[in-house]
């Protein structure tokens, strides 16, 4: 069993417990009463005709399967506020509890603290989780191509849009990018971490980003250690970066986001000048 399969097995067990506590019908009622979702696509530059800056998706992340404990994060709302002040375009909240120490309570706290779009980052494996995300105020969800069949990917993306949300469709290989494009994904992430082995190869982004059609949001996921990594991703076509560990382990995450945004913008400008 791969690491990804093992994680999803645990997610399904925890999901069964939540389904017993809150029915899908109850989630439908909560969603009907909830404020409309914020436009995550626009926040990530999806409506811009020219790429002039690098967007940052800043993550609330306590733990990871590859690194273990990263940060205590006793107040996710306060951390999200720092991310917001630093210029993050989206806040990502891990809600998987077994490997990442997250919860829907973290999502609720972050949603109440910021007005920018919020991503529920989890291993979506059932439509219930998409309804659940919207009921808790999420504006975006994560759909991992490696974890879903083509029909599931298509149906889950359609449901996400029906609920007014956007989805980050995560890939790691050329074949997965083809699958993401074929279902009409507008926001495509390239995770340089192989979720089956947890190995990181930053070269994966440069090798694959050119496969994504122009006009789509292209997100570089994982592997951000410093401004040099940010510039690398920006120079190879990233619209946005998703970064967690480098921020939660930093004493000044607000300033670090600002630094990353400057590094990204400078790399983009160098690329534009070089293309003239």
Per annotation, catalytic residue among 61, 97, 186, 261: 61
Residue 213's Cβ-side half-sphere holds a number of Cα atoms within 13 Å equal to 9
Judge whether 169 and 40 are in contact, CB under 8 Å: no
Two structure tokens written together for 234: 């920006």
Look up 19 and say whether it is catalytic.
no
Per annotation, catalytic residue among 53, 132, 176, 221: 221
Residue 25 φ/ψ region, left for φ over 0, alpha for ψ in the -120 to 50 degree band, beta for the rest = alpha
Q: Alpha-carbon distance 208 to 103, whole Å? A: 32
Per annotation, catalytic residue among 89, 96, 97, 121: 121
Judge whether 263 and 234 are in contact, CB under 8 Å: yes
Strand partners, 217: 187
Per annotation, catalytic residue among 53, 59, 96, 176: 59
Per annotation, catalytic residue among 64, 92, 166, 191: 191
Look up 59 and say whether it is catalytic.
yes
Judge whether 80 and 60 are in contact, CB under 8 Å: yes
Return the closest-CA partner of residue 86 out of 122, 50, 114: 114
Q: Alpha-carbon distance 139 to 225, whole Å? A: 27
Look up 121 and say whether it is catalytic.
yes
Judge whether 138 and 119 are in contact, CB under 8 Å: yes
Per annotation, catalytic residue among 170, 176, 245, 261: 170
Phi, psi torsion values for 71, nearest 5 degrees: -160, 150
Per annotation, catalytic residue among 84, 89, 222, 261: 222
What is the sign of the dihedral through the CA atoms of 148, 149, 155 and 161? Answer: positive
Look up 13 and say whether it is catalytic.
no
Q: Alpha-carbon distance 103 to 56, whole Å? A: 22
Stated as kind and residue range, the H or E segment containing 192 is none
Look up 259 and say whether it is catalytic.
no
User: Which positions are annotated as active-site residues?
Assistant: 59, 61, 121, 170, 191, 221-222
């Amino acid at each position: 069993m791969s690491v990804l399969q093992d994680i999803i097995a645990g997610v399904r067990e925890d999901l069964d417990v939540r389904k017993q506590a809150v029915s899908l019908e109850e989630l439908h009622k909560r969603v009907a009463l909830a404020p409309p979702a914020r436009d995550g696509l626009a926040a990530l530059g999806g409506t811009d005709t020219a790429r002039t800056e690098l967007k940052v998706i800043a993550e609330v992340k306590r733990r990871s399967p590859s690194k273990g404990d990263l940060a205590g994060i006793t107040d996710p709302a306060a951390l999200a506020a720092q991310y917001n002040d630093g210029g993050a375009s989206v806040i990502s909240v891990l809600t998987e509890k077994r490997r990442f120490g997250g919860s829907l309570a973290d999502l609720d706290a972050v949603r109440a603290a910021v007005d920018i779009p919020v991503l529920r980052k989890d291993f979506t494996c059932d439509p219930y989780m998409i309804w659940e995300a919207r009921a808790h105020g999420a504006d975006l969800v994560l759909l991992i191509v490696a974890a879903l069949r083509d029909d599931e990917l298509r149906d889950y993306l359609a449901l996400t849009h029906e609920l007014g949300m956007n989805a980050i469709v995560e890939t790691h290989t050329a074949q997965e990018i083809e699958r993401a494009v074929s279902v009409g994904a507008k926001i495509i992430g390239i995770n340089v971490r192989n979720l089956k082995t947890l190995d990181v190869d930053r070269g994966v982004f440069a090798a694959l980003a050119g496969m994504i059609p122009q006009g789509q949001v292209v997100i570089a996921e994982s592997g951000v250690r410093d401004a040099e990594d940010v510039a690398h991703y920006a120079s190879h076509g990233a619209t946005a970066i998703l970064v967690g560990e480098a921020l939660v382990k930093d004493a000044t995450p607000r300033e670090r986001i600002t630094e990353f945004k400057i590094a990204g913008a400078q790399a983009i400008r160098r690329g534009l000048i070089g293309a003239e």
